[in-house]
Structure 1
Amino acid sequence: MPLTVITPIVLLFLILGSGAWVGLGLMGVGISSLALFRSIPVDKVLSQAVWNGLASPELVALPLFILMAELLFRSRFVDGLFRAIEPWVRNLPGGLLHTNVLGCTFFALISGSSAATTSAVGKITYGELTRRGYDKRAAMGSLAGAGTLGFLIPPSVIMIIYGVLSQTSVLKLFAAGIVPGLMLCLMFMGWLVMRALIVRDTPRAESADSRGLWTERFTALRSLAPFLVLMGVLLGSMYGGLASPSEAAALAVVTTMGIMAAEGTLTLRAIIDSCIGTARVASMLGLIIAAASFLSTAMGFLGLPQAIAGQIQSLNLSPLGLIALLLVIYIILGCFLEGMSLIVMTLPIALPLVTAAGYDKVWFGIFLIIAVEMAQITPPVGMNLFVVQGLTGESLATITRAVVPFFLIMVAMVFLLAGFPAIVDWLPGMID
């Protein structure tokens, strides 16, 4: 490969590996590479790329969804989810371990962050599971694995960013994530059922007569009322054609504050902390988006995407073989890079390859998000592993071993989607 290809790649790994801010590191790579190999006004390229990257109207939804998640994190929302789910799963093989999976799935429907989903659900479920005698490794693995659904099930912060960078409809991406997300939920629960039938270490469920249990189940569903209201406002307004994603996010923030006011958790301190948290996360993501736009432009001037794409195309892989190769690359990169870096580094190279193989941009978005989910649970930089470690105090090695089955389920899910792209495409196809 020419020096114009090798140098930016080496610089990228050196700068990001040094612990520098991702946004500044990406800008540094782009500026250095253009200064070394191209005689063009770098300052003008930088300013134009940053403006183009941040001028998308769809980015307005980003801080609003983050604010909604920050507010929910400080409410009693997850407590209600646990109370509603617990009677329904108590007598299943695996018992209350399913509250981790279903709790993360429900919370992901109104939160766009994997780490926030894992933390919010884990604070309620992990202590309850260990108190009742459930295996710690099973509890940690199901929490870390299911917590990744915060990225896949809409609304998703990372879907918005991918949509902006790839010029793909965010609304179609949201629709595309629903079916794969629910399928992963069922596959995770299926594994917990199989494990319980093999290991047989699930604590005995509390005894109750059939009539009393069903009464308890339907009574507990009242706790889902805030969730149903919020989901109805958020998803109903978008897919009902009443609001754009940005407008729906604004409505959801107002609804969340109303729910918190009704339950008595809408305090001035909660609002201030949520706004500060939102400002921090949104600023960080804004810097990364701006830097990613510039880096993509710089790499185009250097011809790096075309060079790497040409090398991969020379292998003459089948579409499924290409997906397998990309998955291996993403798994390896995910061990060293967090999800946002993974997307901005590879998107200009991988997207043309995948679309040339017959997959569309919406499908690739879901593939890429599942790859990012895997990065969330692969050491040494898997964010969900650190969240669970903070909740449990267990070693990273113990948590990593616990999450292996869920990682393998995600790998199987990728090949299932590659073999049957309609799983992703049919619901977005219903949106004009």
Structure 2
Amino acid sequence: MSTGYRWHSIRLRIALLTALVSAVTMASAFLVIDRRVAEDAREQLRRSAIADLAAAVTIYEATGKVRLGASVDPDLGPDPLREADLTEMTSYYDGRTMWVAHRVAGDGPTLTLAVPGEPIDRQRRSLRSAFLLAGLVALGLTAALAAAAGQSLSRRLRRAAATATRIADGGTDRIRDDRGRDEVAALSRALDTMADSLTARVAAEAAFSADVAHELRTPMTALVSAAELLPPDDEASRLVGNQVARLRRLVDDLLEISRLESGQDPTDLAPYRIDELVPEGDGGSTALVLADPRRVERIVANLVDNARKHAGTEPRVVLSGTSVTVEDDGPGFSADLLAHGPRRFHRESKQPGSGLGLTICDRQAAAMGARLVLANGPGGGGRATLELSPAP
């Protein structure tokens, strides 16, 4: 898998989204818990301070002595505490210290007690550290589990995409993901149904073409024989002869494609020097390739004929390594042909022809385990390359 594809995969997005939701949830929970713990800790500190001051007041009333850390300094404590009505036990927390004060009955002095809030701070820091550590562990586990779940979904989607691509290229394999009940399984079943329908349609079209070509052979033979009996110097006779010859080539091409697509045309592969297979080629390559000479000759002849029709000039046949390239100076191949490859009855221009030539070349190459690559040259013109397999 490429880096770009990995960064845009649904697996990563699920993991990141799950981690984000978990992080937001844990942060919200932490804020609520931290606030609640702080309030409980301050309340506990206040009660402890009030209890200590109450004991100090009792001791003062009995002995006149100040004990337990209390003070009778009237200026001690924050302003809100000094300004309050201290006839009752009063407390105030300034964020660092818990203050409690109480005026002794009668004209007695005010006793004040300060209890540091450092234990609260330590408790909160400890809680935050523990929560942060637990949060990171939980976040990692959540992301890992989400990635594992996303991996299964991503793998099924990639399998469906790869199968769809192979079907588009003419493959016959299927996904067969019938066990699931989720959306991916429904998509897989829909793709399988579409592939079965497409395969049946293509098979029906191929069978129809083969049947038509086969049924035309007998009347075609009669037409050829009749055309040969026409006066050779008559213009009408020449016109009929040309059209009969064109129709005969069409029937022969249809029969050839039918044999290739049905696997009825056997292939005889053997090691050959590429310059012996294509003696008219330039380049001086003597590479040893695995090929069927009959098929190579047919492919090169079709490519040369196609280049002559569309370029209007004599093409060049170039040998390079294990490849044979037919180059021309014409307008080049169309973007549609380069994108979708050769198709039956798809013609590149208004030149006469059935549009089957490149399709035959492509099927002949596939029958040998070779590949036909179409491209346009940097300066214009078409480049049709037959890439043969090197001999073992």
Higher relative contact order (CA 8 A, sep 6+): 1
When normalised by structure 2's length, the TM-score is 0.25
Higher gyration radius (CA): 2
Higher relative strand content: 2
When normalised by structure 1's length, the TM-score is 0.23
Higher relative helix content: 1
